[in-house]
Amino acid sequence: LSPTIGCSEIELLEADTFDLYCFQSLTGTKFFVVCEPGTQHMEALLKVVYELYTDYVLKNPFYEMKMPIRCELFDINLAQAVQKDRVALLGQ
């Protein structure tokens, strides 16, 4: 459906009550963020989450590919990253 060459995938879907950001890694793992309409810097948050994913999940020798992620450290750091983002937004 793309009018020009070089189209990869949908990066952002804007609806009435939410925005959905998507990031796809080179291996095909997809990261989605659902947020309030008009939130800034969600692409940066997605990259941060991707970094956390590689650090806590992929480098974990006990993690089996394609299984749900049950890693506490990953959850804690993820919550921290989102909280930092929220505080930064409220502080502006």
Partner 1 sequence: MQFFGGSEISPSPPTPTTTTGNNAHMIYIFNRNGVCLLYREWNRPLHTLNPQQDHKLMFGLLFSLKSLAAKMDPTSADKGNLGVPQLPGQGCSFHSFRTNSYKLSFMETPSGIKFILVTNPRTSDLRETLKYIYNLYVEYVAKNPLYTPGTPIRCELFNTAVDQYVRSI
The Cα–Cα gap between 25 and 73 comes to 21
The site string for partner 1 over 24-53 (x = CB under 8 A, - otherwise) reads ----------x-------------------
Exactly one of 1, 26, 87, 90 binds partner 1 (CB under 8 A); that residue is 1
Residue written as token pair 């480098």: 59
Angle between helices 42-52 and 72-91 (to 10 degrees): 160
Binding string to partner 1 for residues 3 to 22, with x set by CB under 8 A, is what? Answer: xxxxxxxxxxxxxxxx-x--
Supply 55's token pair. 């650090």
Is residue 91 a contact point for partner 1 (CB under 8 A)?
A: no
Amino acid at 34: V
The residues binding partner 1 (CB under 8 A) are: 1-18, 20, 34
